[in-house]
């Protein structure tokens, strides 16, 4: 069983890598579509979402298969459960990339609204959190996972700042309300991307800590 | 094992019932806090969120315990995995109740902004979807789960309508932008509540359909 089990887990890791690669690509493309008002990049994001949905279903099926065939316990069980949950978060990040790309399509038909908000900084921070949360998973790196969780506060703060900018913008140019509210939505979508990265990081922490608790030297009375 | 396993699953069902009861209460209170501009109800929602977080951790631990001790397969495995995922959605609905209640606190210090949008209808629809998705889980009722999924389109449409109302409101009264954007946020939070109810319904469908596929009479070549 052990060799087969390790093979299956490696397959699962490859599948999560494929999914996360796709999700990162989609998010990057969505962000660039906003920055460059690139309609065709945005449309590409919309078209490619189905591949992520398929990956998500495949990962879940693989997890269920491993659980049913190998009935793992302890660390192995916790790893599979973490992957199941992280799979979900990745798929939602993919959906948020679609939501962001949709805003590009709306924005492209509207006159430009200017804010002094640093969108690229927020986008980069959120993308980095996604990347690091996945690295933390694959390397089982609890310190990196903790750093991701801390970064979430910064993105929340950026979102609040965006919100203030948007309100000021609307007061100054009420006829630009459409474009400004689309920008607000994009900021919120990025904030939710960061939330999902934080979920992933917390699952990694929980998985590793659960392991530590389980392995503590004192015997437990139950 | 069987009797012990059934006992554990019944315990798990009780735990999910407790969690979902709390989540429904919190959501209901958050909605009423908006309608009545009831600051103390809103504060209560903020204070009670920790109980939901604790319930979520307990449900997850119970699922992991069942998986490790009884190594269920087939329908039983699928049920536990569905509960694990639904647990997550319920906790997020709890978070959204908190987000809605926070908006009540912001709104209470602002002059009232009027929209002709039917907030109670949207709130009631979203709450009903949550209730029905949980009924579908506990009764394993695929038809009800399908109805929940269909209702999601209506809530999306209500959210779009709210968005139009808000834009018109801002054009008419740009100095009321703060209150109006809070109302927009509440509408979006409700739309996400409906999304989570839809996720729960889809997990129920997937769980039951997976079972049907597995039990179909033709033998499968693999």
pLDDT tens digits, residue range B93-116? 999 999 999 999 999 999 887 777
Evaluate whether A96 touches A192 at the Cβ level (below 8 Å). yes
Q: Which has more confidence, A114 or B146?
A: B146
SS3 string, chain A, reads: CHHHHHHHHHHHHHHHHHHHHHHHHHHHHHHHHHHCCCHHHHHHHHHHHHHHHHHHHHHHHHHHHHHHHHCCCHHHHHHHHHHHHHHHHHHHHHHHHHHHHHHHHHHHCCCCCCCCCCHHHHHHHHHHHHHHHHHHHHHCCHHHHHHHHHHHHHHHHHHHHHHHHHHHHHHHCHHHHHHHHHHHHHHHHHHHHHHHHHHHHHHHHHHHHHHHHHCCCCCCCC
Q: Which residues contact B129 (CB under 8 A, 6 or more apart)?
A: B148, B151, B152, B155, B193, B194, B197, B198, B201
Q: For B16-56, write each residue's pLDDT tens digit.
A: 999 999 999 999 999 999 999 999 999 999 999 999 999 99
Query: Any residues with CB less than 8 A from the CB of A190 and at least 6 apart, and which?
Result: A96, A100, A122, A123, A126, A155, A159
**pLDDT tens string B179-200:** 999 999 999 999 999 999 999 9
Chain B residues with CB under 8 Å of A170 CB are 170, 174, 177
Domains of chain A: 2-214 (1.20.58.220)
State how far residue B7 is from chain A, nearest Cα, in angstroms.
17
- Nearest Cβ partner of B177 from A74, A84, A170? A170
| Structural tokens at position A72 | 């793992």
CA distance A183 to B41: 32
pTM: 0.89
Tokens 């839809």 belong to residue: B198
CA A10 to chain centre: 22
Task: Tell me the C-alpha distance between B192 and B189, whole Å.
Answer: 5
| Residues of chain A with a CB closer than 8 angstroms to some CB in chain B | 63-64, 67-68, 71, 73-74, 77-78, 81, 84-85, 88, 163, 166-167, 170-171, 174-175, 177-178, 181, 184, 188
Question: A72 to chain B nearest CA, in Å?
Answer: 7
**pLDDT higher than threshold 60 for residue B222:** no
Over its length of 222 residues, how does chain A's per-residue pLDDT go in tens digits?
Answer: 589 999 999 999 999 999 999 999 999 999 999 999 999 999 999 999 999 999 999 999 999 999 999 999 888 999 999 999 999 999 999 999 999 999 999 999 998 877 777 889 999 999 999 999 999 998 999 999 999 999 999 999 999 999 999 989 998 888 899 999 999 999 999 999 999 999 999 999 988 887 544 334 444 433
| Residue from B83, B156, B170 to probe the interface with A (highest A Cβ count within 10 Å) | B170
CA distances from A204 to A68, A71, A144, A149, B59 (A): 23, 21, 10, 11, 18
Q: Which residues are within 8 A (CB) of B46 and not within 5 positions of it... i.e. 6 or more apart?
A: B98, B101, B102
Rounded to a whole number of angstroms, the distance from the CA of A127 to the nearest CA of chain B is 22
Residue in A194, A166, A193, A163 with CA at minimum distance from that of residue A180: A166
Contact A16, A135 (CB under 8 A): no
Write down the pLDDT at residue B84: 94
Reduced to 3 states, what is the DSSP secondary structure of residue B69?
helix
Q: What is the pLDDT of residue A1?
A: 59
What is the rounded CA–CA span in Å between residue B173 and residue A209? 52
User: Distance from B24 to chain A by nearest Cα, in Å?
Assistant: 23
First to last CA, chain A: 30
CB B124 within 8 A of CB B32: no
Q: Are A27 and A97 in contact (CB under 8 A)?
A: yes
Contacts of residue A187 in chain B, CB cutoff 8 Å? Answer: none
Whether the pLDDT of residue B90 is over 90: the answer is yes
3-state secondary structure of B13: helix
Q: What is the dihedral of CA A209, B199, B73, A139, to 10 degrees?
A: -30
Q: What are phi and psi of B124, to 5 degrees?
A: -65, -40
Q: Would you state the structure tokens that stand for residue B221, as one six-digit string?
A: 């070549």
Q: Is the Cβ–Cβ distance between B202 and B145 less than 8 Å?
A: yes
Structure tokens given for A67: 């659980």
């Amino acid at each position: 069983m052990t060799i087969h089990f390790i093979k299956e887990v490696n397959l699962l890791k490859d599948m999560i890598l494929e999914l996360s690669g796709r999700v990162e690509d989609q998010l990057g493309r969505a962000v660039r579509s906003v920055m460059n008002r690139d309609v065709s990049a945005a449309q590409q994001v919309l078209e490619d979402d189905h591949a992520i949905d398929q990956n998500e279903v495949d990962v879940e099926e693989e997890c269920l298969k491993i659980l049913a065939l190998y009935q793992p316990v302890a660390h192995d069980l916790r790893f599979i459960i973490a992957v199941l949950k992280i799979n979900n978060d990745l798929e939602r990040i993919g959906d948020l990339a679609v939501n962001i790309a949709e805003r590009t399509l709306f924005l492209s038909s509207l006159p430009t609204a200017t804010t002094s908000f640093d969108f690229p900084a927020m986008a980069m921070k959120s993308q980095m959190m996604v990347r690091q949360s996945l690295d933390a998973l694959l390397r089982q790196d609890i310190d990196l996972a903790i750093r991701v969780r801390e970064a979430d506060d910064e993105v929340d703060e950026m979102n609040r700042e965006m919100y203030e900018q948007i309100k000021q913008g609307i007061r100054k140019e009420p006829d630009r309300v459409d474009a400004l509210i689309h920008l607000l939505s994009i900021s919120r979508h990025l904030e939710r991307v960061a939330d999902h990265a934080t979920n992933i990081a917390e699952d990694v922490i929980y998985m590793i800590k659960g392991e530590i608790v389980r392995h503590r030297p004192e015997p437990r009375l139950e």
